[in-house]
Structure 1
């Protein structure tokens, strides 16, 4: 009989990693394990979405404040943990009972206190997959988890005294990792231009990506630009308006095409010569999986370390000043061969991330072996 594994997550920013973990376990060990995902909404998610779409940087100060709060105010830290516990404990218990869960994997810090208590009371072990590769909030660490999975070794020295820790790479969906022929994908998507860019704005569609459109519109070479708008209807309609204006009144050689949320975004990444956008971890590593250079033009406070990763691993460019970003983009359009220098580095990191499934499954296997020994 298959053992049941439960993943606890949220669809706001964490759905990609939760689904990738599920997919990898069932592909590599589907004869032994069945995986179920439980999603919860982030606290105040409606307010978060509304502000994020218009002014994502507005969350930087609250994030920094919360980090300092946790470090310097133990009592306040306990109060927040109690709030998380009371908000999630009963729903976690119900899901675990309903699905007969044997092992838990967590990708969202909101569940941490509840899962730690469940481990203590019900003896259900859990694995903590940290959903930020470098800039890690104190709430994301779990001293009571069987293991905390980090992206790379950069944070191990810093955190391994606080919790059991291991570097495991990043979990990316198989559709991004599969081999492909770029020209075949471009033909499938009916892309006829030699140069093709994809602008990504995050799952909620930040309008911050609009700041680099003028440079693309004014370029002197034929250029296809897809703008992935996620679930943001306002952003989609804005880009659609730009598309119609260009078709009617402009001599621009750029073709600007808005994309609604699509499960086929991997095809547009595969077809792209460059991916431009917010330096969110899932988008960044999905770009790596498709071996496509990434140009970060904006980020949130918790994504600060992702800029370091882009530069350290040589995955692409970082430039958040509008004038300088536009200048660099025009330079890339005029000399696209410069993108080739990132190819081998992208391949190396892709291979590193692909080992994540084996590392995770090895740990799950070990947990079940230990359970048998202790019976």
Structure 2
């Protein structure tokens, strides 16, 4: 007899792409046995501010991040934001009636916990931490979520030190979307041929937009001027201005927004871009060295340390140094192979840790089901 799947609500934010990528990764893991709903309940002004600050004033964003990164300031911020989103969260939980709630965004952690307390709901609440080296204080305001999915050992240590009971912490690695778990080695030449690129030439996948149009133009020029032949897959997302500006350049192909980005990253020898945690994790799962050329102040700065500690790539923020490094990599396969070996070690650990996600969620839902059957309303 067919039964209805238990419903899971995954709260996320469409600020940047990382939080949504995390939500989609969790959906991929859980969707076979659970009906999953991914929702961004934040007002549109949140996304507008993030987009503006990211493109025009990363320093402003960094200052805000820094000054709210302590226990008291984090709580004040949460209480203010709760006033803005609590009615949306009330309606959402009443509409979906989830058996379990996961949040992938720190500014929906205290907020949904507060709503559940007000509703006197027993719905299990799970936090999916979203960074690599350390999380912002706002992630640690709530100490009694039912489970914390912790992506790295560094953050496990931080959360435990901040008073979260170890029994609630689950070291489950950084989940990535299913498309990054596919095998692409045999399709690399086909992917590059489809783009009009040569599979025999050193290829970089370059995330466009992080440095702005002027910075990107300078980087493209620097990469293409490397003595050894180099070609670029330039991912511009939905930015039509960048697509127009960089179309028609020899040894460069513009890649507009696509839901299935993994095959194009897998076709490259090196991934280059902003040090976002999900971007780094996706490169690592594909066994591709990551070259961090920029970062969001405050939020992404610790990822640079993580990248170097685990030997997953390079931090290279200056154009001249980037040029010299790429020249070396394009002409010396051994330099690349050394990184790939260490990436495989970390990948194996992360993949094993990911196996713990499903049992945590299934266990919480099962426990709640037993409580409901023992104590029916």
Partner of 2:106: 109
CA distance in 2 between partners of 1:313 and 1:175 (Å):
24
Q: Structure 1: which 5+ residue stretches go unaligned? A: 247-253
Q: Deviations over 1:57-95 (max 9, x none)?
A: 44222211221xx34xx3x54442222212222212222
- Residue of structure 2 in register with 1:199 after alignment: 206
Match status 1:303 vs 2:305? no
Task: Measure, in 2, the Cα distance between the counterparts of 1:22 and 1:195.
Answer: 35
**In 2 relative to 1, CA 335–232 (structure 1 residues): closer, same or farther, beyond 3 Å?**
same
Which stretch of structure 1 is more off in the superposition, 269-278 or 361-370? 361-370
> What do the CA deviations read for 1:276-311 (whole angstroms, capped 9, x no partner)?
111101111111111111111111121122112221
1:21 is aligned, of 26, 43, 48, to 26
Report the counterpart of residue 13 of structure 2 in structure 1: 10
Cα distance, 1:363 vs. partner?
1.0
CA shift, 1:210, in A, is 4.0
Instruction: Out of 322-331 and 34-43, give the one that drifted further.
Output: 34-43
Of residues 47, 54, 75, the one that matches 1:52 is 54
2:211–2:294 Cα contact (<8 Å) kept: no
**Alpha-carbon separation, structure 2, partners of 1:154 and 1:315:** 15
Counterparts of 1:15 and 1:356, CA distance in 2:
21
Secondary structure at 1:105 match in 2? strand
Residue pair 1:198, 1:227 contacting (<8 A) in 2 also: yes
Q: Which moved more, 1:231-240 or 1:190-199?
A: 231-240
Contact 1:197/1:225 (8 A) holds in 2: yes
* 1:270 Cα deviation from its structure 2 partner: 0.8
Residue correspondence of structure 1 range 66-215 to structure 2 within 5 A: 66-67=68-69, 70-71=70-71, 74=72, 76-120=73-117, 121-141=120-140, 142-161=142-161, 162-163=163-164, 164-181=168-185, 182-192=188-198, 193-201=200-208, 206-207=212-213, 208-215=215-222
Moved more, 269-278 or 52-61: 52-61
Instruction: Mark the runs of 5 or more structure 2 residues left unpaired by the alignment.
Output: none
SS of equivalent residue, structure 2 residue 143? coil
Q: CA deviation at 1:160?
A: 1.4
| SS class of match (1:19) | helix
| Alpha-carbon separation, structure 2, partners of 1:205 and 1:77 | 29
Task: Say if 1:355 and 1:11 are closer, same or farther in 2 by CA, change over 3 A.
Answer: farther
Distance in 1 between residues matched to 2:74 and 2:15, nearest whole Å: 23
Which segment is superposed worse, 94-103 or 110-119?
110-119
The equivalent of 2:331 in structure 1 is: 334
Corresponding residue pairs, total: 354
1:351 Cα deviation after fit:
2.6
Q: CA deviation at 1:348?
A: 2.5
Alignment correspondent of 2:227: 220
CA RMSD of aligned residues (A): 2.3
TM-score w.r.t. structure 2 length? 0.86
Moved more, 271-280 or 358-367: 358-367
Question: Within 5 A, what are the aligned runs for 1:261-272?
Answer: 261-272=257-268
Q: Distance in 2 between matches of 1:78 and 1:308?
A: 27
In structure 2, what is the equivalent of residue 35 of structure 1?
A: 36
Q: Could you report, residue by residue, the CA deviation over 1:309-331 in whole angstroms, capped at 9, with x for unpaired residues?
A: 22122111111122212221222
Q: Structure 1 residues 95-104 or 150-159, which shifts more?
A: 150-159
CA distance in 2, matches of 1:297, 1:88: 35
What is the match of residue 274 of structure 2? 278
CA contact (8 A) 1:7 1:36 kept: yes
Q: Structure 2: how far apart are the matches of 1:272 and 1:122? A: 48
In the alignment, which residue of structure 2 is the partner of 1:232?
A: 239
Residues 180, 270 of structure 1: 8 Å contact kept: yes
SS in 1 for 2:50: helix
**Per-residue deviation at 1:357?**
4.4
